[in-house]
Amino acid sequence: MSDTDKMARAVDAPKAENSGQKSEPRQPSKRQPPKKEEKKRVKLLVGIVNKGDEDKLTAIVKECATALSFSGIGYGTARSSYRSYFGFSEVDKRVTMSLIPSTAEHTILNAIAHGLKLYLAGRGIAFTIPLSGISSIISEGILSGDERADVQINKAPISKKKEKNRMHELVIAVVNRKYTDAAVEAARIAGATGATVFHTKSSNNQKAAQAIGTTIEQETDSIFLLTNLEYKNKIMEAVRDVAGLKTEGGAVIFSVPVDDLVGSGRFEDYAV
């Protein structure tokens, strides 16, 4: 046998051996499910801060994202023993409302907390509320705008982006102005630590009042009570008992969920 034939057999041998083997079926590769991207939507950011800080807050919001902001005047009603701790060291308050993209929520809250030093007692509070509806024109404008995730804070994060159970609710009571003090005091006894009050008035509510079967006073106050979830029902019931629809207080009482919160002595969120 020539050297050439030996080399040929040596090369062909593995092929002959492999040809007799049964190939094992290929296992389908396990594909990781794609991560769900956070759906962009518009949220309401509410800030209750000291007089003179409202422009700083809205400037910080607009530095982080495209937002539509409004501000107004309220006054704090917390007792002096609570004021310094829960953000009501000044009676005269400024309230801001900003429509923001949800994807920038935590960046904005962190920037506000550090920019306005909300980690210090008595500086104020900021929180976000989900919306159930909004004009498509406004929504598209806010969600299509510039958004900055690179805003430099250079400090430990305050609002942590993580899945967590909702812990707070905003109770709102629109009450006959003569019964504001009674409503606030009842809420305090039920567990509320402070409130912010807006002077408001009833607007074209005759038809609704007739359908409900009550009279809604023209001069009203809107009371905002931010509370832990465990106290929500107690507070609503307490206000109802002293100033509800079946009383001369005629209060319209409802609550909305709070998604995230900075300020108000929430020191547990300030750790690295």
pLDDT above 70 covers what percent of the chain? 69
Q: Read off the pLDDT of each residue in 231-235 and give the average, rounded to a whole number.
A: 95
Q: Which of 115, 99, 206 is nearest to 153 (CA)?
A: 115
**How does residue 246 score in pLDDT terms, banded at 50, 70 and 90?**
confident
Helix (H, G, I), strand (E, B), or coil: what is residue 11?
helix
Instruction: State the pTM of this model.
Output: 0.65
Residue 3: pLDDT over 90? no
Cβ-contact 117, 49 below 8 angstroms: no
Q: Read off the pLDDT of each residue in 179-198 and give the average, rounded to a whole number.
A: 90
What are the φ and ψ backbone dihedral angles of 233, each rounded to 5 degrees? -65, -40
pLDDT at 22: 55
Cβ-contact 43, 69 below 8 angstroms: no
Q: Read off the pLDDT of each residue in 197-220 and give the average, rounded to a whole number.
A: 80
Q: Which of 50, 93, 47, 41 is nearest to 69 (CA)?
A: 47
**How does residue 196 score in pLDDT terms, banded at 50, 70 and 90?**
confident
DSSP annotation of 70: E
Strand partners, 125: 48, 263
Distance of CA 62 to the CA centre of its chain: 17
Cβ-contact 156, 271 below 8 angstroms: yes
